């Protein structure tokens, strides 16, 4: 009996799912697409009884859409069928039959025919995009009184639609490339316009008197038209002269007007371009103020003039306004101990000089542990100096022991400690300077791997380093894969090389630095002064998974990015989340990326016990692209 009950329960479950997936609206939509090929009815969501959105852009749909079935879909708000190859006429009732329809996007299809207001009710549509279709004539727009955005560009309209005077809310109007020949005057009633594109038509009229108020416009393109510059505006001499001539020599006028208008358009375009450039410039400025790029040059300070007071304590202010104090009387009394080059005799005084008194212009970052400075020490020794603010209370001997241990951890993918300096309570550690900054910056802040152009403008130093060679190709999959393998190697070394595993505890893209040839070096390990709460190596594996997701998606590794990436793997829709910049690289590469995404999925398993070890991860990653040179 029991199996029979189970069967019954399953049957009821199954049928309830079935019926909830076939609401009246869904049936209607399926019917509306019955003459359309490429439509997948299982893409319709089963969650709601009334469908409010039909969003199917670029789905390779071809055929004729049966509009009639939409008539009873009373709750429809958004219809987006853009980027398909649908054809046919849009019936006139459609525009004003819905009480809630707000956005309609039919752009880039093969829809044709006329649009006219045979119906007498007002359309609720606010955004209408009919661009790149075959509409031959749009006779009346007066029912579209709620329109804010109207894009009719790239249709063969031939005559300007009527009823613009009723579109009082219209802010955005694109009529470019519509083969229009009329006077532009009816548009002058559109007082709310911010955006107006009339380019590539044969429109006539006076500029600017036949135009809407120019002071409200944020974008205007009138190039390739037959406008006449208005002789009532006195301050543009050149155009006045031309208009004057036009009056004298009528037969030649057509060509002249064209010339005037292209000159005029060039002027307008120039103004727009300048405006755009100014905005971009302003944005860049703001950005450079907010964040300092790790590869920006060391300020070429005049070290000779840096005065060092004879006796301490020495107080330094960081970029964020906090201070640190080196409580030493004599700056030469605190030695810099170098592990690699023990013959170099530096003291705290050399660090003060090389950083211009630990000035803000030498500061690279405000790290998790404290400020980080950049300095070139005598002998062309290019270093990053980190002040370990959290280690103030660690006593001298313990610190020295810790630094000596850390310096023993040598691996091509670890940023090994080069030296240290203990000045009073402050512990400073020295690392080799990494010219290409950190991975986070490289992935998320530089457009397609270009290094920061604004930093080149006033220095030549950058040009001598390998930095400039960072072409978009450097952002490619092979580089990213090599970086992933390098990080995995470094972490595996930390976890497995010593008798006791060393947990990094804070692996993020900002503490993975890149050498001149984009080899990753993990930094910031072994310095968890008060780190007992650390979960263990499996926490590092999780963090590695997040870094791998960032490498693959090009997105910052937020919780949402991780959820989306994991979901894509579960649904076998891997390609959906891959960085667009990577997708150009061909199918074999894409399959490698997909495999890597699956590894990231394993690493970010919720249960730590399900995550692989770093050694296993390294093996898997190396298998993906075995031709990689290894060391």
Ligand X SMILES: *[C@@H]1O[C@H](CO)[C@@H](O)[C@H](O)[C@H]1NC(C)=O
The smaller minimum CB distance to ligand X, of residues 69 and 339, is found at: 69
Whole-angstrom distance, CA of residue 115 vs CA of residue 113: 7
**Got the DSSP string for 356-393?**
TTT-GGGEEEE-SSSEEEEEEETTTEEEEEEE-GGGTT
Q: Which two tokens stand for residue 303?
A: 């070290």
Q: Indicate the residue whose CB is closest to ligand X.
A: 105
Does residue 201 contact residue 178 with C-beta atoms inside 8 Å?
Answer: yes
CA atoms within 13 A on the CB side of 208: 15
The smaller minimum CB distance to ligand X, of residues 238 and 266, is found at: 266
The smaller minimum CB distance to ligand X, of residues 121 and 534, is found at: 121
Burial degree of 427 (CB within 10 A; 0-12, 13-18, 19+) = buried
Is residue 143 involved in binding ligand X (CB under 6 A)?
yes
Is residue 581 involved in binding ligand X (CB under 6 A)?
no
The smaller minimum CB distance to ligand X, of residues 61 and 492, is found at: 61
Query: In the bound complex, what is the minimum distance in angstroms from residue 211's beta carbon to ligand X?
Result: 16
The smaller minimum CB distance to ligand X, of residues 118 and 238, is found at: 118
The smaller minimum CB distance to ligand X, of residues 143 and 436, is found at: 143
**Got the DSSP string for 460-482?**
SHHHHSGGGG--GGGGSHHHHHH
User: According to CB under 6 A, which residues from 199 to 218 bind ligand X?
Assistant: 199-200
Strand pairing class (36-37; 172-174): unpaired
Is residue 149 involved in binding ligand X (CB under 6 A)?
yes
Is residue 47 involved in binding ligand X (CB under 6 A)?
no
The smaller minimum CB distance to ligand X, of residues 178 and 599, is found at: 178
Is residue 224 involved in binding ligand X (CB under 6 A)?
yes
Is residue 188 involved in binding ligand X (CB under 6 A)?
no
Does residue 37 contact residue 62 with C-beta atoms inside 8 Å?
Answer: yes
Whole-angstrom distance, CA of residue 590 vs CA of residue 379: 46
Does residue 157 contact residue 136 with C-beta atoms inside 8 Å?
Answer: yes
Nearest to 555 by CA among 443, 442, 436: 443
Is residue 45 involved in binding ligand X (CB under 6 A)?
no
- Token pair 């001997």 is found at 397
Contact with ligand X (CB under 6 A) among 89, 110, 127, 368: 127
Q: Which two tokens stand for residue 566?
A: 């994991």
User: According to CB under 6 A, which residues from 513 to 572 bind ligand X?
Assistant: none
Is residue 146 involved in binding ligand X (CB under 6 A)?
no
Q: What are the C-alpha distances in Å from 204 to residues 165, 177, 305?
A: 18, 14, 68
Is residue 452 involved in binding ligand X (CB under 6 A)?
no
The smaller minimum CB distance to ligand X, of residues 143 and 451, is found at: 143
Angle at which helix 559-570 crosses helix 587-603, to 10 degrees, equals 110
Contact with ligand X (CB under 6 A) among 117, 123, 188, 537: 117
Contact with ligand X (CB under 6 A) among 26, 124, 146, 221: 221
The CA dihedral of 76, 77, 81, 83, to the nearest 10 degrees, is: 180
User: According to CB under 6 A, which residues from 319 to 348 bind ligand X?
Assistant: none
Nearest to 77 by CA among 40, 115, 25: 25
Query: In the bound complex, what is the minimum distance in angstroms from residue 595's beta carbon to ligand X?
Result: 22
User: According to CB under 6 A, which residues from 582 to 611 bind ligand X?
Assistant: none
Contact with ligand X (CB under 6 A) among 30, 80, 344, 400: 80
Neighbours of 366 (CB within 10 A): 16
User: According to CB under 6 A, which residues from 257 to 276 bind ligand X?
Assistant: 269, 272
Does residue 417 contact residue 431 with C-beta atoms inside 8 Å?
Answer: yes
Contact with ligand X (CB under 6 A) among 74, 118, 202, 534: 118
Q: How many residues bind ligand X (CB under 6 A)?
A: 47
Q: How many residues in the chain?
A: 631
Contact with ligand X (CB under 6 A) among 57, 447, 466, 472: 57
Q: What share of the chain is helix, strand, coil (3-state, %, to 5)?
A: 40, 15, 45
Neighbours of 50 (CB within 10 A): 11
Q: What are the C-alpha distances in Å from 443 to residues 520, 547, 557, 581?
A: 13, 11, 11, 11
User: According to CB under 6 A, which residues from 87 to 116 bind ligand X?
Assistant: 103, 105, 107-108, 114, 116
Is residue 82 involved in binding ligand X (CB under 6 A)?
yes
Query: Pattern of binders to ligand X over 356-395, x per CB under 6 A?
Result: ----------------------------------------
Query: In the bound complex, what is the minimum distance in angstroms from residue 40's beta carbon to ligand X?
Result: 4
Contact with ligand X (CB under 6 A) among 35, 64, 93, 139: 139
Chain positions contacting ligand X, by CB under 6 A: 37-38, 40, 42-43, 57, 60, 62, 69, 71-72, 78, 80, 82-83, 103, 105, 107-108, 114, 116-118, 120, 127, 129, 131, 139-140, 142-143, 149, 151, 165-166, 172, 174, 176-177, 179, 199-200, 221, 223-224, 269, 272
């Amino acid at each position: 009996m029991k199996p029979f009950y189970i069967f019954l329960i399953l049957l009821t479950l199954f049928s309830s799912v079935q019926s909830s997936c076939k609401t009246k609206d869904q049936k209607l939509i399926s019917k509306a697409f019955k003459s359309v090929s490429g439509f997948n009815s299982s893409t319709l969501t089963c969650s709601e009884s009334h469908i409010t959105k039909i969003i199917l852009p670029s789905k390779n749909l071809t055929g004729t859409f049966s509009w009639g079935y939409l008539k009873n879909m009373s709750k429809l708000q958004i219809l987006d069928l853009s980027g398909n190859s649908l054809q046919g006429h849009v019936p006139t009732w459609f525009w004003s039959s819905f009480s809630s329809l707000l956005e309609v996007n039919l752009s880039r299809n093969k829809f044709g025919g006329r649009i006219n207001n045979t119906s007498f009710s007002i359309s609720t549509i606010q955004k209408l995009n009919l661009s790149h279709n075959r509409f031959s004539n749009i006779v009346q727009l007066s029912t579209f009184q709620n329109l804010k955005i109207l894009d009719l560009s790239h249709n063969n309209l031939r005559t300007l639609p009527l009823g613009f005077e009723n579109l009082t809310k219209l802010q955005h109007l694109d009529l470019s490339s519509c083969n229009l020949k009329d006077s532009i005057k009816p548009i002058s009633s559109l007082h709310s316009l911010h955006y107006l594109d009339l380019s590539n038509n044969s429109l006539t009229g006076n500029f600017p008197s036949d135009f809407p108020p120019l002071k409200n416009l944020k974008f205007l393109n009138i190039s390739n038209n037959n406008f006449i510059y208005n002789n009532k505006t006195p301050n543009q001499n050149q155009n006045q002269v031309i208009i004057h001539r036009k009056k004298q020599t009528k037969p030649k006028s057509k060509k002249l007007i064209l010339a005037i208008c292209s000159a005029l358009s060039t002027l307008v375009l120039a103004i727009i371009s300048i405006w755009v450039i100014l905005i971009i410039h302003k944005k860049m400025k703001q950005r450079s103020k907010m964040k300092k790029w790790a590869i920006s040059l060391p300020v070429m300070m005049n070290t000779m003039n840096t005065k060092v007071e004879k006796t301490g304590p020495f107080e330094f202010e960081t970029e964020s306004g906090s201070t640190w104090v080196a409580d030493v009387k004599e700056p030469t009394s605190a030695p810099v101990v170098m592990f690699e080059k023990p013959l170099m005799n530096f003291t705290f005084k050399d660090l003060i000089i090389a950083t211009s008194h630990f000035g803000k212009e030498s500061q690279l970052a405000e790290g998790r542990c404290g400020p980080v400075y950049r300095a070139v020490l005598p002998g062309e020794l290019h270093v990053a100096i980190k002040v370990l603010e959290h280690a103030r209370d660690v006593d001298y001997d313990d610190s020295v022991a810790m630094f000596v241990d850390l310096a023993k951890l040598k691996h091509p993918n670890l940023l090994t400690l080069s030296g240290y300096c203990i000045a009073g309570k402050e512990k400073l550690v020295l690392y080799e300077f990494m010219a290409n900054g950190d991975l986070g910056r490289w992935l998320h802040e530089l457009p397609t791997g270009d290094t920061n152009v604004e930093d080149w403008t006033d220095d030549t130093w950058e040009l001598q380093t390998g930095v400039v060679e960072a072409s978009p190709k450097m952002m490619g999959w092979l580089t990213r894969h090599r970086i992933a393998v390098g990080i995995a190697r470094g972490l595996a070394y930390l976890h497995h090389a010593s008798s006791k595993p060393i947990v990094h505890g804070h692996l993020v893209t900002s503490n993975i630095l890149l050498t001149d040839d984009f080899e990753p070096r993990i930094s910031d390990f072994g310095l968890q002064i008060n780190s007992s709460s650390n979960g263990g190596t499996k926490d590092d594996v999780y963090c590695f998974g997040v870094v791998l997701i960032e490498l693959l998606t090009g997105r910052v590794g937020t919780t949402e990015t991780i959820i989306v990436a994991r979901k894509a793997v579960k649904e076998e829709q891997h390609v959906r989340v891959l960085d667009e910049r990577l997708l150009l690289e061909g199918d074999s590469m894409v399959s490698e990326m997909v495999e890597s995404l699956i590894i990231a999925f394993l690493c970010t398993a919720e249960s730590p016990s399900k995550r692989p070890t770093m050694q296993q991860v390294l093996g898997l990653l190396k298998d993906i692209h075995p031709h990689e040179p290894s060391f």
